[in-house]
Amino acid sequence: EPEVTQTPSHQVTQMGQEVILRCVPISNHLYFYWYRQILGQKVEFLVSFYNNEISEKSEIFDDQFSVERPDGSNFTLKIRSTKLEDSAMYFCASSETFGQGGYGYTFGSGTRLTVV
């Protein structure tokens, strides 16, 4: 069964450093998402991405965050200057079509980001 692959599985970084979280969506999927989950809390939407553009973003997704699809296979989330409160599990997801909502989602295994 096709999978969404995320790397690394765990990243530790110092406050103020830049991090890039990587995701390889399912190959025929066109819509990409990032969600985050602070430890013990609910999962929160960050951003959706289609056709090389952000289609929607949440209030959490401020100027410190950016996304791109640099090479047609990877989908990345960059945090420019990490803060302690960015420590969370970050999930990538992809879907084949728009309009199916969560019905079409496949979530990746997540990257645990720890900012120290």
Partner 1 sequence: ELKVEQNPLFLSMQEGKNYTIYCNYSTTSDRLYWYRQDPGKSLESLFVLLSNGAVKQEGRLMASLDTKARLSTLHITAAVHDLSATYFCAVDLSYNTDKLIFGTGTRLQVFP
Residues in contact with partner 1 by the rule CB under 8 A: 31, 33, 35, 41-45, 48, 56, 58, 89, 91, 95, 98-105, 107-110, 112
> Measured between alpha carbons, how far is 58 from 65 in angstroms, rounded to an integer?
11
Nearer to partner 1, 32 or 82 (CB): 32
CB of 26 to partner 1, least distance (A): 14
Residues 1, 29: Cα–Cα separation, whole Å: 14
Is 37 or 71 the residue whose CB approaches partner 1 more closely?
37
Closest separation in Å from C-beta 96 to partner 1: 11
Smallest distance from the beta carbon of 107 to partner 1, in angstroms?
Answer: 5
The full DSSP string for 26-77 is -TT--EEEEEEE-TTS-EEEEEEEETTEEEEE-TT--TTEEEE-SSSS-EEE
Closest separation between CB of residue 100 and partner 1, Å? 7
